[in-house]
Structure 1
Amino acid sequence: MIDVPVYVWVLTLVGTAGLVGSTSLVLYRGAELAGLGRRRAVGLGVSSAVLLGGWFTISGALAANGWYLNKPGQVPGLPITFAAVLVALLATTLIPVVARALAAPGMLSRLELPHTFRVVGVVFLIMMALGHLPALFALPAGLGDIATGLAAPFIARRIAKGTGRRTAVRFNVLGMIDLVVALTLAILIGNHVLDVTPSTQAITQLPLALIPTAAVPLLFTLHITSLRRMAALGRTRQGTTSSVGAAGLSYR
């Protein structure tokens, strides 16, 4: 087991808790704006916090028992867990109450705010400096997360002002690429396809294991949901423009 400093534990837990809390708050606010009523909005916010927080706790227990360790002859648990959780989270966005909350006015900007907590990616750089992670993984993963986290509130503000849609698309696409690159490098290095020293064993153990198994699927879901919302709004605008144009031609 790798000896992880206390401050890395604190940073990781604060970042993951902030991600869960902000996502739950976004859903609560969306339910309110969608007209679902305060009781249902509170229920959605609390249930999402409990479910997301519960999975973080379960994932932590799995990591503590070595579930994510790369063992010869065994199917790696980390990528399987990531894929399963991502599918489950995307499925929850189709639940009617959740879908209505996500479609509420102003949600597009709010969906970017939880990404602010990606600045916790600094822990990858810290672990690299301590000799526990390779630069090949830590530099793109850490710097990419920090850049995304710092940009998130500014992107959200521009969207709220009615500008920056194209910038938001680029932000979400680049944010997903950052996650894919980091996860791919972690898997390739961890399974010795890329043989570098040290390995990425540290992210299969606590507290870093919480990031790829719980935080990354949630961040990916937020990115995909944002892009879907922007695509839906784009289709709505095109439909409105077409209707106005047809009405004008009919009038003439």
Structure 2
Amino acid sequence: MTSDAVPAAIAPPPRALNSLLWTVPLTALWTWLLYAQPVLLESGVPALAARLTAYGLIALGTWLGLERTDLTPSQRRATWLAIIVPFTLWAAVAWSAAINGVFRTGYSQLPLLPAAIFLPLFVGTPLLLLSKRVGQLLDAMPTTWLVALQLYRVVGSQWLAYWLLGRLPGLWALPAGTGDVLTGLFAVTAATALASGTAEGRKAAILWNMFGLADFVVAITLGMIITPGPFQLIIPDGPNVGLDGYPNVLTPAFVVPSSILLHALSLRQLRRRSRSGARDVAI
């Protein structure tokens, strides 16, 4: 799609596009480093560091957002714990299961990895989208936070590095890796556009959310039909690095559903702001 095909009403302002001047080179350099130094990929340290950083930012952002509400201190603490404790337990269970090989093909006749993706969504989505207290948090929190946070998606460039090294089939790695990288790169762009407080910026953020969700639909669908199991329809040529093993399996088992929930929260927040007509405050 060319820039001429994008309606002017939804095109982000030049200031937002300028964010690509530093995010694109850094992402390209990081991808090259992973390709040149495969030991980084094998260690799993970069991806795990990104996940821990995202977890810390979610915990901190939730607390700072609650401090902006008119809730009492005890209500803020209770709400924070009601969000972070289940989130932490979920991360711990997924992490432990991944380390112990629970998600590996053949471990169980049950589709445990698909369950790890969809079960948190079935449980978490209605709770987060219907909760009145979460709505208060979203009303107080700057809309830019939930968007810019997903800059961590550029870590998906690891799938492109695996493909370049011949360790993953391009059928999955190219669309999944490219979609992740583009979502991460444009997270800062969409957040900057959103900070302008204009209708165009809001539309850009909505489109970014929809693109990020579409990326997961493609990655999950392709992953299920090429992975050995009850849903496999295609046997890809070439080697497969083993996406069902630790630490790579943490991406579908935890990062994917948690990122989808962040997209859902961002869309709910943007809808609430649109209804109230309140102007976002960006920090």
TM-score exceeds 0.5: yes
Query: 1:70: Cα distance to partner?
Result: 2.7
Contact 2:172–2:222 (CA under 8 A) maintained in structure 1: yes
Matches within 5 A, 1:11-160: 11-37=46-72, 40-41=75-76, 44-45=79-80, 48-71=83-106, 74-93=109-128, 94-106=130-142, 108-160=143-195
Query: 1:73: Cα distance to partner?
Result: 8.5
Q: Which has the larger radius of gyration?
A: 1
CA distance 1:85–1:120, shift in 2 (3 Å): same
Match of 1:186 among 223, 229, 232: 223
Structure 2 partner of 1:242: none
Structure 1 partner of 2:269: 229
Secondary structure of the corresponding residue to residue 229 of structure 1: helix
Q: Does 1:212 align with 2:247?
A: no
Structure 2 partner of 1:249: none
Identical pairs, percent: 30
Query: 1:174: Cα distance to partner?
Result: 0.5
- 1:123-155 per-position Cα deviation (integer Å, ceiling 9, x unaligned): 212222333321111111111111111111221
CA distance 1:39–1:125, shift in 2 (3 Å): farther
Structure 1 partner of 2:18: none
AA matched with 2:243? I
Query: 1:199: Cα distance to partner?
Result: 6.2
CA distance 1:167–1:208, shift in 2 (3 Å): same
Contact 1:117–1:149 (CA under 8 A) maintained in structure 2: yes
CA distance 1:172–1:147, shift in 2 (3 Å): same
TM-score w.r.t. structure 2 length? 0.73
Query: 1:187: Cα distance to partner?
Result: 0.9
Secondary structure of the corresponding residue to residue 140 of structure 2: coil
Structure 2 partner of 1:240: none
What's the RMSD between the two structures over aligned residues?
A: 2.5
AA matched with 1:100? Q
Query: 1:92: Cα distance to partner?
Result: 4.0
Aligned length: 233
Structure 1 partner of 2:280: none
Secondary structure of the corresponding residue to residue 47 of structure 2: helix
Query: 1:19: Cα distance to partner?
Result: 1.8
Structure 1 partner of 2:202: 165
Contact 2:103–2:245 (CA under 8 A) maintained in structure 1: yes
